[in-house]
Amino acid sequence: MPDERIKKILSLLEKAYPDAGIVLKYKTPLELLVATILAAQCTDERVNKVTETLFKKYKTANDFADARQDVFEQEIRSTGFYKNKAKNTIACCKQIIEQFNGKVPDNLEDLITLPGVGRKTANVLLGSVFGKQAIAVDTHVFRVSHRLELAKSNDPDKVEQELCRIIPQERWTKDCLVIGAHGRRTCIAKKPLCNSCVVEKLCNSDDKITSYK
Ligand code: SF4
């Protein structure tokens, strides 16, 4: 069970980011799956620019599965690691057609069998399009969890387990989005905006920067 400090942190963050949500733009589970694969080591804003055009051309799993890899690579090139991402996206959609009747599976066990899909991507899908409670540990959730001592592990999958233990299950998805929003907007990687941080008094991080430190 969470201690009082953690409860207070989560409550303050929930109030500070009531609009916390997913930044990637998508209309279907397949679009979110592809966008999340492209978002590895890339900003969501860059991915949104790329998918704005990409999703006009590729609409179904068949469209992606039939893509020419060299052409697809160039279409997603600006997201970085484009060769691997193209290979994984095409292979992923082929498997969705062959094993899941062209539909993105709605459970963790099946999702993580897809090429390029780890627990983070699977949990993004489960929480945001399949209405399940899930904690997706991206770089922002990982950083904030460490700075606020919500988790200790260096392994994102273990951080997920630690967060699952301290956050009530009915709030896993929402609180994960709230922690991510805090990381994007305030507790940013290089220069956190500690003077405007709602949990500054509860933060013991060495990364804390305040004008009165
Ligand atoms: S005080 Fe600074 S380092 Fe600590 S949580 Fe707030 S923004 Fe992040």
Which of 143, 200, 209, 211 best tests ligand 1's pocket when mutated (most atoms within 8 Å of CB)? 200
pLDDT for 142-152, tens place per residue? 999 999 999 99
What is the dihedral sign for C-alpha 128, 75, 56, 105?
negative
Contact between 54 and 74 under an 8 Å Cβ cutoff? The reply is: no
Contact between 112 and 122 under an 8 Å Cβ cutoff? The reply is: yes
pLDDT for 24-51, tens place per residue? 999 999 999 999 999 999 999 999 999 9
Q: Is the pTM of this model over 0.95?
A: no
Residue 95 pLDDT class (50, 70, 90 cuts): very high
Tokens of 92: 């992923």
Phi/psi of residue 167, each to 5°? Answer: -105, 130
Distance CA 162, CA 182 (A): 18
Q: Which residue, judged by its Cα, is nearest atom 8 of ligand 1?
A: 187
Q: What topology is assigned to 4-20+135-202 in CATH?
A: Endonuclease Iii, domain 2 (1.10.1670)
Tokens of 154: 């260096």
pLDDT, average across residues 154-160: 97
Task: Report domain extents, the chain.
Answer: 4-20+135-202, 29-128
Distance CA 6, CA 72 (A): 45
Distance CA 176, CA 213 (A): 29
Rounded to the nearest 5 degrees, what angle is found at the Cα of 85, between the Cα atoms of 81 and 91? 155
Given the candidates 1.10.340.30, 3.20.20.70, 3.40.50.300, 2.70.210.12, the CATH classification of the domain at 29-128 is 1.10.340.30
Which of 17, 191, 207 best tests ligand 1's pocket when mutated (most atoms within 8 Å of CB)? 207
pLDDT value of position 210: 76
